[in-house]
């Protein structure tokens, strides 16, 4: 008899009972099927080592049980790691604040990109720490022009944020 036929007979004989055992431990039919398939593959690959086993049914039951328990332990460790990460996030408000600040910066950059070219450039220079006089010198215009464009840009940014339901602290 060919090896693939032997495997098919083996699967037909043991698969449903192995799935039932795994299901009792795990509680999930999909995971029970995965575990059963893994055990069948392990058993079949190493079947030459198991020739002296008196009861293959008992051995398969033990393999299923061990595989299911390993899955449960791994799942439990994963949950603990995940819960630990969630707790760490809230224990470190600096990280959370940095994430919020970065998101706000991205929103602001997007809003600035919607401004006219000169106004957008002025706002970027302001955010980089330049004073009105320095910006005027860089752009080759008067300080009054910078002030006018700056306040018009601020007004448009406020309109943008108000129209998009962003809460702003206005002076």
Choice between 87 and 54, residue whose per-residue pLDDT is larger: 54
Q: What pLDDT score was predicted for residue 166?
A: 63
Across the range 21-45, mean pLDDT stands at 89
Query: Which residues have CB under 8 Å from 128's CB, separation 6+?
Result: none
8 Å CB contact between 113 and 120: yes
Specify the CATH class of 3-91 in words: mainly alpha
Query: Which residue did the predictor score with more confidence, 72 or 102?
Result: 72
Residue percentage of the chain with pLDDT more than 70:
88
| pLDDT the model gives residue 86 | 59
As given in the structure block, the two tokens for residue 103 are 């998101």
| Banded model confidence at residue 170, pLDDT cuts 50, 70, 90 | very low
Q: Tell me 141's DSSP state.
A: S
Second CATH level (architecture) for the domain 93-163: Orthogonal Bundle (1.10)
CB burial readout 102-120, b (16+ within 10 A) else e: eeeeeebeebbeebeeebb
Length of the chain in terms of residues written:
171
What average pLDDT does range 8-35 have in this prediction? 87
Helix, strand, coil distribution of the chain in percent, nearest 5? 85, 0, 15
What pTM was estimated for this model as a whole?
0.46
Q: What is the pLDDT of residues 129-159, one digit of tens each?
A: 889 999 999 899 999 999 999 999 999 989 8
Alpha-carbon span 171 to 165, nearest angstrom? 18
Q: Please list the residue range(s) of the chain that carry CATH number 1.10.1740.10.
A: 3-91
CB within 8 Å of 13: residues ≥ 6 apart: none
The pLDDT assigned to 17 comes to 84
Highest mean pLDDT among 24-28, 46-50, 86-90, 151-155 belongs to: 151-155
Q: What per-residue confidence (pLDDT) applies to 151? A: 93
CB-count burial class (<10 Å; 0-12, 13-18, 19+) for 130: middle
Report the mean per-residue pLDDT for the chain.
83
Residues of the chain with CATH 1.10.10.10: 93-163
Query: Going by C-beta distance under 8 Å and a sequence separation of 6 or more, which residues neighbour residue 108?
Result: 127, 157
Token representation of residue 115: 């401004």
Percent of the chain with pLDDT over 90: 26
């Amino acid at each position: 008899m060919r090896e693939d036929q032997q495997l098919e007979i083996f699967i037909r004989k043991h698969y449903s009972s192995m799935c039932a055992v795994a299901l009792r431990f795990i509680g999930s039919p999909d995971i029970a099927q995965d575990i059963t398939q893994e055990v069948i593959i392990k058993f079949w690959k190493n079947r030459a080592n198991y020739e002296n086993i008196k009861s293959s049914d008992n051995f398969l039951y033990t393999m299923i049980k061990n595989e299911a328990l390993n899955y449960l332990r791994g799942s439990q460790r994963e949950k603990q790691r995940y819960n630990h990460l969630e707790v760490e996030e809230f224990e470190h408000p600096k990280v959370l604040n940095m994430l919020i600040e970065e998101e706000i910066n991205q929103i602001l950059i997007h809003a600035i990109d919607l401004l006219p070219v000169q106004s957008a450039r002025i706002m970027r220079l302001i955010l980089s720490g330049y004073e009105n006089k320095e910006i005027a010198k860089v752009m080759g215009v008067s300080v009054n022009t910078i002030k006018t464009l700056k306040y018009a840009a601020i007004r448009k940014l406020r309109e943008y944020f108000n129209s998009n339901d962003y809460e702003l602290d206005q002076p």
